[in-house]
Structure 1
Amino acid sequence: MYEEKAMKIVGLEIRLYAPWVHSLKEKRMIVKSLVSKIQNHFHVSAAEVGEQDVHQTIVVGVASIVPHRAQADRFAEEVQRFVEESTDAQIMDIQTEIYS
């Protein structure tokens, strides 16, 4: 009997807006801090994935392996809540992808 794969990969792309940032150096400090906090709290892969040359826009990607769809949805909600609490930057958009 064929058993459906249970493991899922969840990927998030979080777009933030930080209007007070006026240099790439300042932005890098914020991104480095946020990525480090996400990695340490959730033990996942996280990195800046876009808009590296735009001062006030931050795009962070987060990826994790979870056992099933329900946990993928819960993980996405937890990461969003954590990011909201961990930075003064405003979340503009979150894209979530779940792969089997």
Structure 2
Amino acid sequence: MFSGTLKIDVLLGEVHSLKQKRALVKPVLADLNRRPGVGAAEVALQDLHRRAVIGVAVVAGTHHRVIELLDDCEGAVSWRPELEVLSVHRRVRSDEDD
């Protein structure tokens, strides 16, 4: 079994309130969470209205599949014009890594 995580730091466009931020981030999280084997949440900077950190976790049977899922999730966030990706941190682990 393999697991992978992404931490995606994004800058939001013309956002002037936390309510507007929620309106942009919520559909992104819903899109990511619809994918099999993927869980996503806003994991940091919840009190800032122009920044968000999206955390993604995936689980799969092979290393290759984890990489595919992480690439897909990163792409799903990167293509959105209302978000500017500032940084992405990726980690892949095996159950034998402990």
TM class by shorter-chain length? 0.7 to 0.9
| Cα distance in 1, alignment partners of residues 31 and 81 from structure 2 | 10
Stretches of structure 1 that go unaligned for 5 or more consecutive residues are: 1-6
Q: Which has the higher helix share?
A: 1
Pick one of 77, 88, 91 that aligns with 1:97. 91
Distance in 2 (CA, whole Å) between partners of 1:88 and 1:26 is 12
List structure 1 segments (4+ residues) > 4 angstroms apart after TM superposition: none
Distance 2:81 2:33 in 1: 15
Which structure: greater strand fraction?
Answer: 2
What residue ranges of structure 2 are gaps of 5+ in the alignment? none
User: 1:38 — aligned with what?
Assistant: 32
What is the DSSP-based 3-state SS (H/G/I as helix, E as strand, rest coil) of the residue aligned with 1:54?
A: coil
Count of aligned positions = 93
Query: 2:23 corresponds to which letter in structure 1?
Result: M
Q: Quick one: distance in 1 between partners of 2:88 and 2:69?
A: 13
How high is the TM-score relative to the length of structure 2?
A: 0.85
Is 1:63 the counterpart of 2:78 in the alignment?
no
CA distance in 1, matches of 2:19, 2:33: 21
